[in-house]
Amino acid sequence: MTLDSYKAQMLSVLRIVSSLAFLEHGTAKFLGFPAMQHLPAVLSMPWWGGLVELTGGGLLALGLFSRPAAFLMSGEMAVAYWTVHIRRGFFPLLNGGDAAILFCFIFLYIVAAGPGPWSLDALRSR
């Protein structure tokens, strides 16, 4: 047995773990957990980002409407990188944008590859 036989399941693991890490940003902004020093002002860009993180992260963790949710989340991270992080410098390590880049491309991959077999989308398509 080779590792190739686990590709589909590992896609689901990547989706679940990355979406839960992303969801944490939304729960911090909307639910105060984990606690942040400052909550975003209502209807501000960080507030809208938190809304995408909370709803999109939850949907993607469940594997429900995975491709549209991942597309929206990937776009949010691209916008975050090019409007916030790049102002602090070119290199992601120094401008704090490495997580935004990774989230952006992980979610873009999920748009193309789908959610994997351990998802509500997979159950709906049976």
Q: Which domain holds residue 111?
A: 6-124
For residue 17, being part of any structural domain is answered with yes
| 14 token code pair | 């990547």
For residue 105, being part of any structural domain is answered with yes
Report pLDDT for 38: 86
For residue 1, being part of any structural domain is answered with no
For residue 39, being part of any structural domain is answered with yes
- pLDDT means per 10 residues, the chain with 126 residues, are 91 98 96 90 94 98 98 98 96 96 98 97 89
Rounded to two decimals, the pTM is 0.93
For residue 94, being part of any structural domain is answered with yes
Report pLDDT for 16: 98
User: How many structural domains compose the chain?
Assistant: 1
Helix%, strand%, coil% for the chain, nearest 5: 75, 0, 25
